[in-house]
Amino acid sequence: MTEKDEVLYNRFLANRHEADFRVLLERDRESLTLFLYGYVHNMEDAEEVMLDTILPNNSRRH
């Protein structure tokens, strides 16, 4: 049985538990990136927007 995305994401936000984030990223990375590509028409930009969407503020270093 897999945990719901909401549970994993909330636990990641609360504790910065990287394993939870990895599970979410593996599950949703490709579909979310391709969805965003439809708007930005550039794969690198789509990946960056995807990460900016998933990660809370100040969690990524540019």
Answer whether residue 59 shows pLDDT above 90.
no
- Please check whether residue 28 lies inside any domain of the structure: yes
Long-range contacts of 28-33 (CB under 8 A, 24+ apart): 28/54
- What's the pLDDT score for residue 44? 97
Answer whether residue 7 shows pLDDT above 60.
yes
- For the segment 37-42, the average pLDDT, to the nearest whole number, is 97
- Please check whether residue 61 lies inside any domain of the structure: no
Domain extent at residue 21: 5-54
- What's the pLDDT score for residue 36? 96
- Please check whether residue 48 lies inside any domain of the structure: yes
- Please check whether residue 20 lies inside any domain of the structure: yes
- Please check whether residue 44 lies inside any domain of the structure: yes
Mean confidence (pLDDT) of the chain? 84
* Amino acid, single-letter form, for residue 57: N
- Please check whether residue 34 lies inside any domain of the structure: yes
The burial class, CB within 10 Å (0-12 / 13-18 / 19+), for 36 is buried
- What's the pLDDT score for residue 40? 97
- Please check whether residue 32 lies inside any domain of the structure: yes
How many structural domains comprise the chain?
1
* Amino acid, single-letter form, for residue 62: H
- Please check whether residue 60 lies inside any domain of the structure: no
